[in-house]
Structure 1
Amino acid sequence: MRILYTIALCAMTAASALPCISRGGGESAAVAYKNPLDVAFGDPFILRASDEKYYMYGTSENEKGFRACVSDDLAHWAELGRVYEGALPESWTLKNFWAPEVYEIKGKYYMLFSADWKENPANELENFRIGVAVADSPDGPFKDLMNRPIFDPGYPIIDANLHFENGRVYLYYSRCCYKNPVASEIADWARKQGWFQEIEESWVYGVEIKPDFSGIIGEPELLLRPPVRMDDKQAEWESRSVTSREVNRRWTEGSFVFKKNGTYYMMYSANYFGGKNYAVGYATSDNPLGPFRKAGNNPVLQKNTDRGGDVTGTGHNMVFTHADGTMYCVYHGRTTTTGDKRMVFIDRIEIAPDGKLTVDGPTTTRQIIRQACGPGQTPGLH
């Protein structure tokens, strides 16, 4: 895999390194890039590993596992090829590998992912669970840690995300829409229109897990779901897949939790991931397991075609903080040029003194990332 690093570049469109400039008595270099990156990932996730390189993982079309890219500066990305392949036939069917996230823990690298579990006596069409694979290096190869999922909640789940705090580990995931019809005013409305007989929903849950990933501690808590009432401020944007007559489902998925100034932020995606209305909102809490309150300025990231742009399908994001303190949102989206392919975008996030979160995107204009000059002075992720 490491050989591919030197021969196969997935370089960001129009990325370039600019001269060092003085910033407050120090020296820094500016690296320019434009969205979308030339990386065809859905559900992207970036890890800064102990080797001071940035590793990006994501969902690839028809991939029986996961590929990765690596970068020194967040602007130029090299292809590493496949870093995980579903290898245990007693665990996973070789299809539908989604949403990998990788965490470095005590010198090991742990990949959480969604996949079709082999144990399926009822022959369910959607039988996803959360698996864990481990590697000695961020570029793999990752091997299954266990021949089973972390746990079985009795329904399909996807989009695992972890939060670590004070020696405890919290897992967030989305219950799939599959066979989860929910009574709501939007469901009643769609039925009266003669469009859909029922509306299925996906909900975000959280639960503490054992540090060795062998199981959960306590019972999962329901943290986020689509609005029940149509006069809810969130109902319009979270119901667009239904009101556009796209599909009879409402999603709450792709959750990502981080803590800032004592507040827990959960970003999440709503609407059909394959459509134009996929968008991102957030909720806040004083506790890692809620209750979470959705923000009044949602959605904070959505299509820009009504503003003269050509980006749609923006969603399933993660967040990192650069060494200079700038926060970035990493997500996938589509443009008229890229078509149905999900491409990676990186845009800035701002959190105001009152806690209000905004995303400066989607952008397709030239963006700058500051880099420290000199050997060994590379930016960091927190």
Structure 2
Amino acid sequence: MKNGSLIIFSCLILMFSCTSKQANPTQETTSGNPIFEGWYADPEGIIFDDKYWVYPTYSAPYEEQVFMDAFSSTDLINWTKHERIVDTASVKWINRAMWAPAIVKKDNKYFLFFAGNDIQNNDEYGGIGIAVADKPEGPFKDYLGKPLIDKFHNGAQPIDQFVFKDKDGSYYIYYGGWKHCNVAKLNKDFTGLVPFDDGSLYKEVTPENYVEGPFMFIKDNKYYFMWSEGGWGGPDYFVAYAIADSPFGPFKRIGRILQQDPKIATGAGHHSVIHEPKSDKWYIVYHRRPVTETDGNHRETCIDEMQFDENGYIKPVIITKEGVRGNPLK
């Protein structure tokens, strides 16, 4: 009887264990927010081959913000950290404030754009630079040995760049802080800019309420231009957008689609968008500050689903603790 009781007890323990795992599948089927540990901001999300990639700013005081990590996943749930894909040892003209990465793949090379030194006027040295690598995880090396854009044009601080490939294969760089946004056309090898038809190198495309963090994508042959509004250190940080027929606008503000939830997090903004074409899922990757944190640099990278209504307008995003369901690329 003792042996029989022991066998029955063991079976009950095994059944309870299996039932417990099945009763709480959320941890196994959703990403959770944040999607990885650590203080990271300004995330650039993208798909390369069979992996999702996120390239964020290491969120720390400027003197410590001298390198970048990257994260990859095959399913949006399990993330691998790639440490120090670029730093100021390889980009020697930057001494502080390396931030807001943007990345594109061209001619089997990976070009990582970033801002450095947080320049406040044209007499300070810094701006937007480029690093290049053979693999998305780097290591990245300085491409130009100097900034690509190192001056204020149309009032735009040279930060927060996003590189956009248009339908005709042209590459444009959208950038700008201090409530001004410029667009410029990159030449074929990304070593400089190409003048527009009127001879100018920079066109201002600043929409209403723009502050920083531009982003662009195409859907149904329309250009969706997005940006952050408000102050990045406070609760009034938002993402808004416009829709245009041209990459140059005009970009008439439609409305806000991402904002804080005082029950979950504040300062939700400076985002990017990932489109997974097989499932036709759209994701917004962004940073936010947990309500438990008061340090301005304590920002975390999160992901939530982004949806459209029947007219093509973006529905307001609901920020969550759960994140998104797994979506394997293979």
Aligned to 1:194: none
Instruction: Quote the residue 2:220 is aligned against.
Output: 261
* 1:121–1:49 Cα change, 3 Å: closer
User: Is 2:181 the counterpart of 1:204?
Assistant: yes
Q: Which AA in structure 1 matches 2:148? A: I
In 2: Cα distance, 1:167 partner to 1:158 partner: 24
Aligned twin of 1:330: 285
Q: What is the rounded CA distance, in whole Å, between the counterparts of 1:171 and 1:220 in structure 2?
A: 10
Distance 1:355 1:367 in 2: 21
Offset from partner CA, 1:83-137 (integer Å, 9 cap, x none)? 0012367x6232100101221112111100011289x883x4xx54110000011
Compared with structure 1, are the counterparts of its residues 157 and 70 closer, same or farther at alpha carbon in structure 2 (3 Å cutoff)?
same
In structure 2, what is the equivalent of residue 242 of structure 1? none
Question: TM-score by structure 1 length?
Answer: 0.70
Match of 1:9 in 2: none
Q: Distance in 2 between matches of 1:128 and 1:283?
A: 30
Query: Is the aligned partner of 1:319 residue 2:273?
Result: yes
Q: Is the 8 A contact 2:182 2:204 kept in 1?
A: yes
Q: Which has the higher contact order (CA 8 A, sep 6+)?
A: 2
The CA distance in 1 between the partners of 2:122 and 2:280, in whole Å, is: 50
Q: Give the corresponding residue for 1:285.
A: 244
User: Which ranges in structure 1 are unaligned for 5 or more consecutive residues?
Assistant: 1-13, 18-30, 178-201, 227-237, 239-250, 372-377
Partner in structure 2 of residue 22 of structure 1? none
Cα 1:274/1:47, change in 2 over 3 Å = same
Pairs within 5 Å for 1:43-192: 43-50=42-49, 52-60=50-58, 61=60, 62-87=64-89, 92-116=93-117, 122=123, 124=124, 128-154=126-152, 156-165=157-166, 166-174=168-176, 176-177=177-178
Identity %: 30
Matches within 5 A, 1:331-346: 331-337=286-292, 339-340=294-295, 341-346=298-303
The code of the aligned residue for 1:310 comes to I
After superposition, residues 15-26 of structure 1 pair within 5 angstroms as: 16-17=27-28
**Inter-partner Cα distance in structure 2 for 1:135 and 1:263:** 32
Residue ranges of structure 2 left out of the alignment (5+ in a row): 1-24, 196-200
Higher strand share: 1
- Distance in 1, matches of 2:112 and 2:324, equals 30
SS across alignment from 1:212: coil
Deviation at 1:59, TM superposition (A): 0.6
Which residue number in structure 1 is paired with residue 311 of structure 2? 354
Check the 8 A contact 1:87/1:143 in 2, yes or no.
no
Instruction: Say whether the 8 Å CA contact 2:103–2:163 is kept in structure 1.
Output: no
Instruction: Quote how far apart the aligned CAs of 1:366 are.
Output: 6.0
Question: Hey, what's the Cα distance between the residues in 2 that align with 1:366 and 1:269?
Answer: 21
Q: Which residue of 2 aligns with 1:38?
A: 36
1:302 partnered with 2:259: yes
Q: Is the 8 A contact 2:94 2:126 kept in 1?
A: no
Taking the aligned partners of 2:224 and 2:88, their CA distance within structure 1 comes to 32
8 Å CA contact retained: 2:265, 2:290: yes
Q: What is the rounded CA distance, in whole Å, between the counterparts of 2:118 and 2:93 in structure 1?
A: 5
Q: Cα distance 1:15–1:108, how it changes in 2: closer, same or farther (>3 A)?
A: farther
Runs in 1 of length 4+ with deviation above 6 angstroms? Answer: none
**Is residue 152–residue 158 contact of structure 2 (8 Å, CA) maintained in 1?**
no
Q: 1:271 aligns with which of 193, 208, 230?
A: 230
Q: In 2, distance between residues paired with 1:157 and 1:168?
A: 21
Paired residue total:
289
RMSD (Å), alpha carbons: 2.4
CA distance in 1, matches of 2:114, 2:26: 30
The Cα of 1:15 is off from its aligned counterpart by 6.8
Q: Secondary structure at the match of 2:65?
A: coil
Residue 198 of structure 1 corresponds to: none
